[in-house]
Structure 1
Amino acid sequence: MQFLFKFYQRITWLSLDVVLGAMSGMLFFARALRTELAWQEYILLGMAVWCIYTADHLMDARKLTLDHAEDRHHFHLIYQKHLVVILGIVGSIGLVWAILFFGFTHELFFGIGLGIVILIIMLAVRKLASKQVRLKELSSAIFYVIGISWLPWYETPSIDYTWTAFALTIFYMGLAYLNLIMLSSIDTDSDKEAGFSSIATIIPQDKLHLRIRQMAISLMIFALIGLLLVESFYRIFPSLILIMLLMHYLSFFKTGLIPEQIRMRMEIAFLVPALFLLL
């Protein structure tokens, strides 16, 4: 079991669990919007997500020293030269593959533009971290969901746009935001030690935990209401969000778990759409 934990820990440090979760989220929106995406589009999304998250961790790692506690940032500090090379290779392959697959179309230019905007916002949030620290988790959640859902939205005829699909997108943003503030909470000590700013470094833990509990319960109640109100075709989607919310809530508030175990369980929650929708 210890070997499996260490193995999965390295997967999380490399953000591969986030990549799989993003691809699962794209499948969620593709099915909700009744559109079929090619397998290449899922792989290209995964490559883009990995590049963005790895670049983010490498920028964070530059602030650390080698005596910092062993975690994902320490991992990126030790192997930063190797990861920079791999990042360049993956980014280059992804760009060439996207050009070959999409051609010089709106999909290509929007995808590249979105990636650039996300990188600019990441840099801006770092500059404003001490003044607008709440922007970090909120902006990350919004752009994460935009990133995994824009292609299904783009390829779906506007006649198929429904209030249910819009509501599911907002709910998914709420889930992503809840995930990020939970992660900020469990990383509070390491963030303070490294000098990082997050919502958990400015709000006392007891107050933050209360807000997390209130937000999680509110989202679960809305998901239950949505489950009762939507048409039968859509009922699977608020059900999946409800399951993911429950997994987050039970993992975060379960006593006896170390931060890495909580993180792993919450990241696994984002694989739920793929597990159910591919059956």
Structure 2
Amino acid sequence: MAARLSDVDPIHWATPFVLGLMVFVIYTVDRLLDVRKIRMDASSQPLTARHAFHRDHAPLLWRMAVAAAVLAIALTFFLPGSVIRFGMIMGISCAIYVGSVFRLPTRHPVLLLKEPLVAILYTAGVWGSVWVQRPSVSYIDVVEGLMFLGIAFQNLLLFAVMEQLETPEQPLFSLATAWGLDTCRLVLRWLTLLVVLSAFAICFIASDRFAQRSALMLGLMSLTLYGMQRYPAYFLKHERYRWLGDSVFWMPVLVL
């Protein structure tokens, strides 16, 4: 969606493969280091189901992460120079992030930046890798990129809220515990409102039909996450919120 909206046609074939591989590597290594950190610190927070899975399959997941990283590095030789330079900046940023999270104490205040930082890095990877392949970026691109950033943060904050509701007796250290559930719900409502209002504004301002459709899809993505927030009891069962919450990022396929 970002490629079509930004009029990068065709986007270099290796771009989505490298992006997907690196998202897998960063997510997997982050979880594996979390498990190692929890194992080293007896006073740390309890293991979630995701962390337990990574602990139980750590040797296999480390091998998969290394293989994915090697394949991604090999594919970078096919990418345009602008994407390689951007990827190096993103790679260094992600390495600093993962290393810092691993080294800091479990309840260090800086770790409260984890949700917004992950949202920024994810959005930058998706939209930035496309934008560097074109000479200029329109204001519609920027607005929809910011809408995507809001949705990414909404997704992560929603997960933090749901995790606290899952284990209220042993809450995980996150923005949900620092801000409180009421404040988080208020922030989630405002994020939804801003994304939806931005979607309608683009429909009235933009003349490009695809820009209008993509804006409405971003609005629907945000509303879907808001629906999960409104009915936590249902979406907490079998961790429905987790796989449904992440699946919203596949919804843009419907407008391609």
Q: CA deviation at 1:60?
A: 1.2
- Structure 2 equivalent of residue 238 of structure 1: 215
1:64–1:194 contact (8 Å) kept in structure 2 = no
Q: CA deviation at 1:218?
A: 2.9
Distance change (3 Å), C-alpha of 1:202 and 1:221: same
Map residues 13-24 of structure 1 onto 2, 5 A cutoff.
none
Distance change (3 Å), C-alpha of 1:169 and 1:185: same
Q: Report which stretch shifted further, 41-50 or 55-64.
A: 55-64
- Structure 2 equivalent of residue 13 of structure 1: none
- Structure 1 equivalent of residue 34 of structure 2: 60
**AA paired with 1:243?**
L
The root-mean-square deviation of aligned C-alpha atoms, in Å, is: 2.4
Map residues 24-103 of structure 1 onto 2, 5 A cutoff.
28-35=1-8, 36-64=10-38, 71-99=49-77, 101-102=78-79
Q: Which whole-Å CA distance do the structure 2 matches of 1:69 and 1:190 have between them?
A: 12
Deviation by residue 1:213-261 (Cα, 9 ceiling, x = unmatched): 2322232223222222222332112111111011111122124222610
- Structure 2 equivalent of residue 19 of structure 1: none
SS of the residue 2:179 aligns to: coil
Distance change (3 Å), C-alpha of 1:152 and 1:77: same
Q: TM-score, normalised by structure 1?
A: 0.79
Displacement over 4 Å in runs of 4+ = 189-196
SS of the residue 1:242 aligns to: helix
Q: Which whole-Å CA distance do the structure 1 matches of 2:217 and 2:195 have between them?
A: 13
1:145–1:172 contact (8 Å) kept in structure 2 = yes
Distance change (3 Å), C-alpha of 1:30 and 1:45: same
1:63–1:194 contact (8 Å) kept in structure 2 = no
Deviation by residue 1:124-167 (Cα, 9 ceiling, x = unmatched): 35527522343111111111111111221011122xx2111111
- Structure 1 equivalent of residue 156 of structure 2: 180
- Structure 1 equivalent of residue 254 of structure 2: 275
Q: TM-score, normalised by structure 2?
A: 0.86
How many residues align structurally? 244
Q: CA deviation at 1:72?
A: 0.9
Q: CA deviation at 1:73?
A: 0.7
Q: Please point out which of 134, 139, 144 is paired with 2:122.
A: 144
Q: CA deviation at 1:209?
A: 1.7
2:25–2:65 contact (8 Å) kept in structure 1 = yes
**AA paired with 1:214?**
W
Deviation by residue 1:162-184 (Cα, 9 ceiling, x = unmatched): 11111111111111111111111
SS of the residue 2:110 aligns to: coil
Deviation by residue 1:77-120 (Cα, 9 ceiling, x = unmatched): 11111111111111112112222x137x3422331331121120
1:64–1:74 contact (8 Å) kept in structure 2 = no
- Structure 1 equivalent of residue 43 of structure 2: none
SS of the residue 2:234 aligns to: coil
